[in-house]
Structure 1
Amino acid sequence: MIHLKTLNKKGLEDFVASGEFQHHDFIPITKHRAESHIRNPKATDDQTLLILAYDEDQLAGYVGCLPDHFKIDGEIFRYAWLSTLFISDQFRGKKIAQTLLNKAFEEYQGNIALTEFTKEAESLYNKTGLFRYIEPKKGKKYYFRTDLEIIIPLKREKTKPLQPLFKITDSIINTVISTKNIFIKKPDFKFEILDTIDVESKNFIAKFKNNRTAEEINWAIENPWVLEGKTEDKKYLFSSYSQNFRYFWVKIFDKDRNLNICSLLMLRNGHLKIPYLFSESDLSPFLDFLSYFIARNKIKMMTSYQIDLNKKIDSYPSFPKIYQRNIERRYMFHQNLIQNLPEHFNPDFQDGDGDCLMT
């Protein structure tokens, strides 16, 4: 007999403190991720953060919720992102996933959003008949170094014996790229790289329409879901550890030493993302900084859904990309969420909105 357990901030804190979450074949959340959820400034004390499905005393599956809100005409409208959904193979075919989803819908009155979903999860969400696609974000993936040793065997398993050859090829090509990048000089304008958002930056980004405040972005930076330099927890099926994972808060100043560009960068194992970008000027200085940052840190690739930035890159021949391709991030809203929002509402999502900022 399947029964559900919902955990709010206090419930999740007690669940992790008791050690109960570690007593099963798989764990529904890591300790540091739970602590991050508990400290989420957009989550109220009574909102559900994690829903567990048990068969008797055995954990069968779970779904995670990340509370968020829009500010509409000065009023707060609360909703949640589904950030994890997992069912143990042992309990497949018992409609546990649908049971968990129904409970999440009930807890948030259908005010549920989704993004960065797998094909399997997307199929499940579509089968409910309750979700609608909203306008996707068009983006680009830029490549700066080759990684044939990893990419080719992943796509074509039969080529694994050729990995040493691919490694040599990568080494030769990337040596040439590194030599070329030596000529990318440090920008001659003033810039700063900080660990978190400072007061000056807070005042600057407050001028822009944004779904996350400086304090909320700092919460993510200071309470990451992914910890650096540790081994993956095999009992947790989502992101928890990474060899390299770090946030950078970037400030760029004009010739008069006035702050005019701020951005949050996220770097994970050579993959750079730009969760947030705020600019009052032409983006050329930011691209000069990015080129320098990419060369200095030997970035392999960059994902960007910043439309204006991507357009600027297209007309910026000195940007050190060797290849680029178009990508798309799709979003799904529960039909109740669409009905409860103003007609033609535009969420104005940046790259980091939702749980994208965390992984």
Structure 2
Amino acid sequence: MMQLKTFNKKQLEDFVSSGEFRQYDFLPITEHRALSHIQNPKATDEQTLLILAFFEGRLAGYLGCFPDHFVLDEKVIRYAWLSTLYVSGEFRGKKIAKRLLEKAMENYEGHIAITEFTIEAETLYNIIGAFEYIFPKRGKRFYFNTDLATIIPDKKPKTKVLKHFFSILDSTANSVISMKNILIKKPDFHFEILDHIDEESTDFIAGFQSRRNANEMNLSIKYPWVLKGERKDEKYLFSSYAETFKYFWIKVYDHQNSLTTCSLLLLRDGYLKIPYLFSQSDMEYFIDFLSYFIVKNKIKALTSYQQDLNKEIEHSKTFPKIYERDFERRYLFNKQLIQSLPEGFNPDYQDGDGDCMMT
């Protein structure tokens, strides 16, 4: 009645290149997401990257796996992030999600990690009882403009009739904010904005502990899960296109022209993230650059899990934030993965580690 089909690198490549993945009522993956999975340097040729569930011959759901690994005392501990989990509403109540999860745990010997999960998915993971929460990341979201016309109607649909009024308030408030931000000028120190990690940066970040090296980050930049474009894959339920989606590799130098900070920024539809940040000094230079970048690119909000940076931003008198909120990113590790790691092990993830980098 129910069948599961798994795909490794070669099988996934054939599945997508043949166009077979488009024959179903909904897409189990996009071409560019599949390419990113195939190009993942931490994935072996044999590991499962996609699992499809069929019920009475029809595609009912799917689960995506994004392989990763830890290297501890020269021992490689392989695991996978659950990057997608979807079951069609037509097949709900048939325990398809549970079967997909069980298959993933079987194929990875329980070495499964999850983050950025929905409330519904989190409920399922807790019901199964195979996962435990590990060290969460606490972050901040800094806002630079008002957006009452979007935020209030989304939270209180009955106020949609007042959207024009909220837009007038936004326009007035943001005009005042723009006048204030005129004072933020281009920094007087040297900085570079690249579309990839260059050789100097590679040498610089090699001196820091990181879950991804320069080559791995460059591959993630080259093969993202989201592409710039106004069209949408209506048959695909996860992120695939955005009006703006762009990575920036930032190099900041001090007044003696020494490289002090490298960072990867991700801009998506006016919202900024900092997947990676490597710095040898305090954050003063980087905050000055970030202020300039935010104003120049009309950033709506910045979400940052870089705790040292966040502390300095909170005390900065020049950073152009008008409001901030606390955020928390939680992680679930399968109990078998936890048992394979040293007691009290902290993965010390940056924001871009795992599958968060791609969206």
| TM-score class normalised by the smaller sequence | over 0.9
1:39 aligns with 2:39: yes
Instruction: Give the secondary structure class of the aligned counterpart of 2:46.
Output: coil
Q: How does 1:114-133 map to 2 (within 5 A)?
A: 114-133=114-133
TM-score (norm 2): 0.99
Give the equivalent residue in structure 1 for 2:162.
Answer: 162
Instruction: Give the secondary structure class of the aligned counterpart of 1:252.
Output: strand
* Post-superposition offset of 1:204: 0.5
Instruction: Give the secondary structure class of the aligned counterpart of 1:256.
Output: coil
Distance 2:227 2:319 in 1: 30
Give the equivalent residue in structure 2 for 1:75.
Answer: 75
Give the equivalent residue in structure 2 for 1:334.
Answer: 334
Task: Count residues in correspondence.
Answer: 359
Distance 1:12 1:241 in 2: 21
Cα deviation code 1:61-106 (max 9, x no counterpart): 0000000011212232111000100001111111010000000000
Q: How does 1:52-201 map to 2 (within 5 A)?
A: 52-201=52-201
Give the equivalent residue in structure 1 for 2:311.
Answer: 311
The letter of the residue matching 1:102 is: E
Provide structure 1 residue ranges, at least 5 long, that are not aligned to the other structure.
none
Give the equivalent residue in structure 1 for 2:267.
Answer: 267
* Post-superposition offset of 1:24: 1.1
Distance 1:307 1:248 in 2: 20
Distance 1:329 1:274 in 2: 14
Instruction: Give the secondary structure class of the aligned counterpart of 2:44.
Output: coil
Cα deviation code 1:301-354 (max 9, x no counterpart): 010110100110111111110000111000000000000111121101000111
Instruction: Give the secondary structure class of the aligned counterpart of 2:48.
Output: coil
Instruction: Give the secondary structure class of the aligned counterpart of 1:37.
Output: helix
Give the equivalent residue in structure 2 for 1:26.
Answer: 26
Give the equivalent residue in structure 1 for 2:279.
Answer: 279
1:291 aligns with 2:326: no
Distance 1:43 1:284 in 2: 38
Sequence identity, in percent? 64
* Post-superposition offset of 1:148: 1.0
TM-score (norm 1): 0.99
* Post-superposition offset of 1:115: 0.4
* Post-superposition offset of 1:56: 3.2
Distance 2:70 2:214 in 1: 15
* Post-superposition offset of 1:255: 2.0
The letter of the residue matching 1:276 is: Y
Detail structure 1 runs of 4+ shifted over 3 Å in the superposition. none
* Post-superposition offset of 1:287: 0.3
* Post-superposition offset of 1:149: 1.1
Give the equivalent residue in structure 2 for 1:51.
Answer: 51
Give the equivalent residue in structure 1 for 2:345.
Answer: 345
The letter of the residue matching 1:338 is: I
Distance 1:136 1:38 in 2: 29
Instruction: Give the secondary structure class of the aligned counterpart of 2:11.
Output: helix
Distance 1:75 1:263 in 2: 29
Instruction: Give the secondary structure class of the aligned counterpart of 1:332.
Output: strand
* Post-superposition offset of 1:199: 0.6
* Post-superposition offset of 1:171: 1.2
Name which of structure 1's ranges 144-153 and 67-76 shifts more when overlaid on structure 2. 67-76
The letter of the residue matching 1:92 is: R
Distance 2:299 2:265 in 1: 12
Distance 2:200 2:18 in 1: 41
Give the equivalent residue in structure 2 for 1:212.
Answer: 212
* Post-superposition offset of 1:208: 0.4
The letter of the residue matching 1:181 is: N
* Post-superposition offset of 1:166: 1.2
Instruction: Give the secondary structure class of the aligned counterpart of 2:70.
Output: strand
